[in-house]
């Protein structure tokens, strides 16, 4: 009984970390698809990809950089 409980806890932890990694990798793409107007999606996606070329994007620094670049091109800075 105790061995089964330990195996279940370890399996649950592994599943949790796998889901967390998948969500963290997909979240920037979902932000681009859902929140960005269609005319600007390609540019923002390219900017996010260029901002961090690692396996998983770091969402907040990439989004801050994207907002800064958009404001700069819009002439607000």
Q: Report if pTM > 0.95.
A: no
The secondary structure of the chain, three-state, reads CHHHHHHHHHHHHHHHHHHHHHHHHHHHHHHHHHHCCHHHHHHHHHHHHHHCCCCCCCHHHHHHHHHHHHHHHHCCC
pLDDT in tens, 2-17: 899 999 999 999 999 9
Q: CA 69, CA 29: separation in Å to the nearest integer?
A: 18
pLDDT in tens, 6-57: 999 999 999 999 999 888 878 877 877 788 888 887 887 777 677 655 555 5
Q: Give me the phi and psi of 58, to 5 degrees please.
A: -90, 110
Segments making up each domain of the chain, as ranges: 2-74
């Amino acid at each position: 009984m105790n061995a089964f409980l330990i195996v279940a806890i370890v399996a649950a932890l592994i599943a949790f970390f796998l889901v967390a990694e998948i969500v963290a990798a997909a979240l920037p793409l979902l932000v681009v698809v859902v929140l960005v107007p269609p005319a600007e999606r390609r540019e923002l996606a390219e900017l996010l990809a260029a901002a961090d070329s690692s396996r998983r994007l770091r969402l907040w620094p990439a989004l801050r950089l994207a907002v800064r670049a958009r404001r700069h091109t819009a002439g607000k800075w």
